[in-house]
Structure 1
Amino acid sequence: MPLVTSFVDRQDRRPHWSSPSIGAALTLSLTALISGCDRHPPAPHAAMPPAEVGVVVAQTASVGLQTELPGRIEPYRSANIAARVAGVLQKRLFVEGTEVRAGQQLYQIDPEPFKAAYDNAAAALLKAEATLAQAQDVLKRYTPLAAEGAVSQQALVTAQLNVQQGLADVASARANVQTARLNLGYASVSSPIAGRVSQTQVTEGALVGQGQVTPLTTVQQIDPVYVNFTQSADDVLRLQRSLAQGQLKRVPGSQAASVRILLSDGTEYPLPGKLFFSGVTVDASSGQITLRAEVPNPHRVLLPGLYARVRLEQAEASEAILLPQQAVTRTQNGNTVMVVDADGQVSTRAVQVSGTSAGQWVVLGGLKPGEQVMVDGFQKVRGKAPVKPVPWKGATPSAHAPESKPAAPAASPAAKS
């Protein structure tokens, strides 16, 4: 009996939702809420504006085609100084690394043995000349006596042969004197050219030229200097083909075309050089053609053996289009750019690129003047969605920063409700 009473009591304490007054109030509240929402519908999402991309307008101009090729600096002239006679090196008469004149003495080899040899040769010459004079005197006396029969013909012939022998002995003695004079002169080692002398290879007191040539030092003329570089034979063939087709014209005086030198640190050497030599054969192992330019070097900035890049202008395009390098995509299948039309649609276009000029690609075909070529904002292109072209202002610090996504439109107060 108590269990039944407890259950009934709990049933009596539950809310009476079926009461008419409470149901009416709930109905009115829901009606007002629905009516309020109907009066303030959620605002639709605004359409995203077209993404802005940087473009340049294609314009034709007369452009010189430049090619950068690797090269090495070489001395204009170089002389390897060596001992030409055997002897003891007595003195070094120059300061290493300085400029020397042509004919300036650099070393002194002990000259005493060569002076003695010269004196001996000179004495032998005097003896030969005396012997010749005696033979000539005998022949002079025998000639009339032989005509009178006072001297036999055999004695006359002998006198004539003695004179011939004396002439030969004198000639040989004179040659020995000349040799001795040369050896004495070779004891003073001088520079055959003007230039900068390098470090010495021997020390004072060393025995040089004994049975073999002994290198002493090197003198190099480095004003001007040569720049030796190579160009691909394929590039040369393409250049010749473009010239033949009329797409390019040869630079006036191209046999002495101006070249610029880019040093290993990226700076440009201020003085221009000139191209004056082009190889006539192709290296079978590398497929390269050897070229050489002459560059003035008054301040001795360019040193032999220095690596450099040569910027060479070989031809000129009369109606070329210059594009920033980031605007062109270069692949093994060809070169392409992205063009934006008047409706903001982006399309890929194949172009013909031929060299560079002032750090920009030179385009010879595939574009028309006035077309807009995309330079940056490639990551903003989404399928066929239009874009908004704006003039490209060049690279900026934020050009490579990650692109921020546009914020979602804020919900209206009514929607929040």
Structure 2
Amino acid sequence: MTRSDIGSGACKLARSLGRPVIAAGLVLCLAAASACSDSGSGESGKSGAGAAGAGGGQQASKVGIITVEPKPVTITANVAGRVVAFQTAQVRPQVGGLITERLFDEGAKVEKGDVLYKLDDRSYQAQVDSAEATLQKNEAALASAKLQYERYQNLTASNVVSQSDRDDALSTYRQAQADVAVANAELETAKLNLDYTSIKAPIAGRVGTDPADPGNLVTADQTDALATIRQIDPVYVDFTESSGNLLKFRDQIKRGGVKALVGPDDAGKAKVKIRFADGSTYPIAGTIDAADQFVSETTSSFTVRTRFSNPENALLPGMYVRGTITLAIADEGILLPQMAVSRNGDGQPTAMFVKTDGTVETRVLEVSTDIGTNWLVTKGARAGDRLVVDGTMKVRDGAKVEVVPVRIDENGRIQPANDKGEAKPSAAGGQSADAGSGPDAAANGDDDSAAKPAAGAGKASSGMEAKAAEAGEGGKSGADGSASAAGSAE
């Protein structure tokens, strides 16, 4: 039952009761009429709003687009690594003895062949003297045996010396020669051991800060090193890269259009730049020196060794760095802004494009790697495609759109394509200031237009309610008067 039905019933009831309640019935009728007016106005407003909404839904949404343009792209890999000394040598004594002197400072730079330690060499000097005396003795015996042998040889023709004596002379001569050779070897060994009492640097570099002090007794080939020397100019930086990225890179090379800068035939072409943990950049570029030919079973990665010049010793062994390796150059690379690429339910990268008929389509992409704020796309985008970069949240596949050319500045923000561009700047990845135009803006306008008739209906309703109130007051007083007359008559 509606309010108008109630009002009609009230009017009939008032007539049946007679004059005393006519005024009250009039009040009820006016109220019912007001309710009908309100209902009509509301329905009219709703229908008007619906019509406006329907009209706004047909309006094409504005989206910001950029045109895909292939260009030469340098393909890089961002990797993490650690600094490794170019050479490392642990200094150990080759002969035993007491350390009598240390000839370097802790952490000092030394050159190859510099004397680091001196051992007590008196016993080794005595061994050299003894070996020299033995050599002289054997050399004298050799001279005597040689003369005896030559004498017997001269007497062979006259048969004065027997063959047995000649053979003995030859044997003695050869034995003397061997004794001299042994004496020479012993002398060389003694001299070498004497030289080993001066412990020298095997490589150039910097000595560690925990050397042995004079007074310590050392032995030949002991386990503990006397000092450690590290050569850090040049220096190695070992980076680790996943095998998956390696496979992607090889696949790009097979497809063509990519010039590799790494490999046995391209040594030195690939440049490497590194950044420190604080974000600062090392000023000198490095080169790839070697790469592992196997993949780690535990980490599924392989190691790439790079070499850097380190004249100021800014790179120290064990230091953590981030590197960017230049792997290849793509002659016709396609870069799409990361803000325009999203993921579908299967985790695949997708982007929206505007077709020639002005409708939107979503494509699945194949992404190679990230370059700055862009993705390097190998499949799914072509030259001349119109990529939606602004307003992606307000359109769906098949939606009719109005394109607004925009550009993306160096900070990754969307800007008008020119001074007369319609698109206003917006943050990267968000909606522009014009995002309210289109269906949403039309809906807002329809709400305003729908509100106007509703307001008018409310005004009319208020006027009718005021009249009803006045009539009610009059009816009430009339009813009261009738009641009083009836009371007097009684």
Shorter-chain TM-score tier? 0.7 to 0.9
Give the C-alpha shift of residue 175 in structure 1.
0.6
Q: Is the 8 A contact 2:93 2:220 kept in 1?
A: no
Deviates most, 235-244 or 183-192: 235-244
**In structure 1, how many angstroms separate the alpha carbons of the residues matched to 2:82 and 2:207?**
20
* 2:387 aligned to which of 373, 378, 403: 373
Q: Is the 8 A contact 2:106 2:211 kept in 1?
A: no
Q: Is the 8 A contact 2:82 2:321 kept in 1?
A: yes
* 1:275 aligned to which of 288, 293, 304: 288
What SS class does the counterpart of residue 215 from structure 1 fall into?
A: coil
What SS class does the counterpart of residue 132 from structure 2 fall into?
A: helix
Q: Which has the higher strand share?
A: 1
Deviates most, 132-141 or 290-299: 132-141
**In structure 2, how many angstroms separate the alpha carbons of the residues matched to 1:347 and 1:211?**
74
**In structure 1, how many angstroms separate the alpha carbons of the residues matched to 2:307 and 2:258?**
25
Task: Decide whether aligned partners of structure 1 residues 409 and 266 sit closer, same or farther in structure 2, where only a CA change above 3 A counts.
Answer: farther
Residue of structure 1 equivalent to 2:255: 245
**In structure 1, how many angstroms separate the alpha carbons of the residues matched to 2:165 and 2:196?**
46
* 1:360 aligned to which of 374, 378, 392: 374
Give the C-alpha shift of residue 126 in structure 1.
1.5
**In structure 1, how many angstroms separate the alpha carbons of the residues matched to 2:145 and 2:312?**
67
What's the CA shift string for 1:285-325, capped at 9, x where partnerless?
55444432222222222222233333222222222221233
Deviates most, 128-137 or 229-238: 229-238
Give the C-alpha shift of residue 350 in structure 1.
0.6
* 1:172 aligned to which of 163, 167, 182: 182
Residue of structure 1 equivalent to 2:267: 255
Paired residue type of 1:70: A
TM-score by structure 2 length? 0.67
Verify: 1:226 aligned to 2:236, yes or no.
Answer: yes
* 2:125 aligned to which of 115, 119, 143: 115
Give the C-alpha shift of residue 366 in structure 1.
0.8
* 1:291 aligned to which of 278, 282, 304: 304
What's the CA shift string for 1:151-184, capped at 9, x where partnerless?
5544443333222222111111111111111111
Matches within 5 A, 1:9-408: 18=22, 44=49, 47=56, 55-145=65-155, 147-148=157-158, 151-210=161-220, 212-251=222-261, 254-256=266-268, 257-283=270-296, 286-329=299-342, 333-340=347-354, 346-375=360-389, 391=406, 392=408, 394=412
Task: Decide whether aligned partners of structure 1 residues 301 and 395 sit closer, same or farther in structure 2, where only a CA change above 3 A counts.
Answer: farther
**In structure 2, how many angstroms separate the alpha carbons of the residues matched to 1:398 and 1:244?**
38
Q: Which has the higher helix share?
A: 2
**In structure 2, how many angstroms separate the alpha carbons of the residues matched to 1:212 and 1:187?**
15
Give the C-alpha shift of residue 53 in structure 1.
6.1
Task: Decide whether aligned partners of structure 1 residues 96 and 63 sit closer, same or farther in structure 2, where only a CA change above 3 A counts.
Answer: same
Paired residue type of 1:177: L
Cα RMSD of the aligned pairs, angstroms, is: 4.1
Aligned length: 395
**In structure 2, how many angstroms separate the alpha carbons of the residues matched to 1:325 and 1:223?**
40
What's the CA shift string for 1:127-152, capped at 9, x where partnerless?
21122223334334444456545555
Paired residue type of 1:362: L
Task: Decide whether aligned partners of structure 1 residues 163 and 105 sit closer, same or farther in structure 2, where only a CA change above 3 A counts.
Answer: same
Task: Decide whether aligned partners of structure 1 residues 337 and 305 sit closer, same or farther in structure 2, where only a CA change above 3 A counts.
Answer: same
**In structure 1, how many angstroms separate the alpha carbons of the residues matched to 2:221 and 2:237?**
37
Q: Is the 8 A contact 1:65 1:354 kept in 2?
A: no
**In structure 1, how many angstroms separate the alpha carbons of the residues matched to 2:323 and 2:150?**
78
**In structure 2, how many angstroms separate the alpha carbons of the residues matched to 1:351 and 1:199?**
55
Task: Decide whether aligned partners of structure 1 residues 376 and 268 sit closer, same or farther in structure 2, where only a CA change above 3 A counts.
Answer: farther
Task: Decide whether aligned partners of structure 1 residues 99 and 55 sit closer, same or farther in structure 2, where only a CA change above 3 A counts.
Answer: farther
Task: Decide whether aligned partners of structure 1 residues 340 and 203 sit closer, same or farther in structure 2, where only a CA change above 3 A counts.
Answer: farther
Task: Decide whether aligned partners of structure 1 residues 258 and 210 sit closer, same or farther in structure 2, where only a CA change above 3 A counts.
Answer: closer
Q: Is the 8 A contact 1:100 1:195 kept in 2?
A: yes
Structure 1 unaligned segments of length 5 or more: list them.
1-14
Paired residue type of 1:84: Q
Paired residue type of 1:77: Q
What's the CA shift string for 1:48-94, capped at 9, x where partnerless?
99877665432211112112233332222222221111112222222
